[in-house]
Homo-oligomer: A and B are copies of this chain.
Amino acid sequence: MTSEELLAVLAAVGHAQRLRVIAEIAGGRMYVSELARSLGMSRPLLYMHLDRLEKAGLVVGSLELSTSGKALKYFELAPFDLRVNAETIAAAVAADAEGTVSDVKGTPT
């Protein structure tokens, strides 16, 4: 895992509102408007956060048609389990250097 990927996840999850979003849909998939009401958050704002979370690969959205025919955008958690400690961070940062500096020894092919 590169530090860029790790960073995307950590930055995405390092925000109070987004933490709440994750906690909320941890209980099961919900559609956007429902989620917005539940969290007491404006829909455009929620969109932004969901977007961020989705890009980080933490949630997955899918547009569906309800039985009544109304379009509903459901979001659910993507499975993720991240370990954050000195080793994982050092490894991620080290992964960036691969190929960056001219020929790092000891890591052939």
Contact = CB atoms under 8 A, between A and B. Distances in A.
- Tell me if A's interface is mostly helix, strand, loop or mixed: helix
Task: Tell me how many chains of this kind the complex includes.
Answer: 2
A9 B15 CA distance: 11
A104 interface: no
Interface stretch (A20-28, A42-50, A64-72): A20-28
A103 interface: no
A86 B26 contact: yes
Contact of A83 (B6, B7, B22, B83): B83
Nearest to A12: B14
In order of increasing CB-CB distance, the 8 nearest A-B pairs are: A14-B14, A23-B93, A10-B14, A11-B14, A82-B84, A81-B85, A26-B90, A23-B90
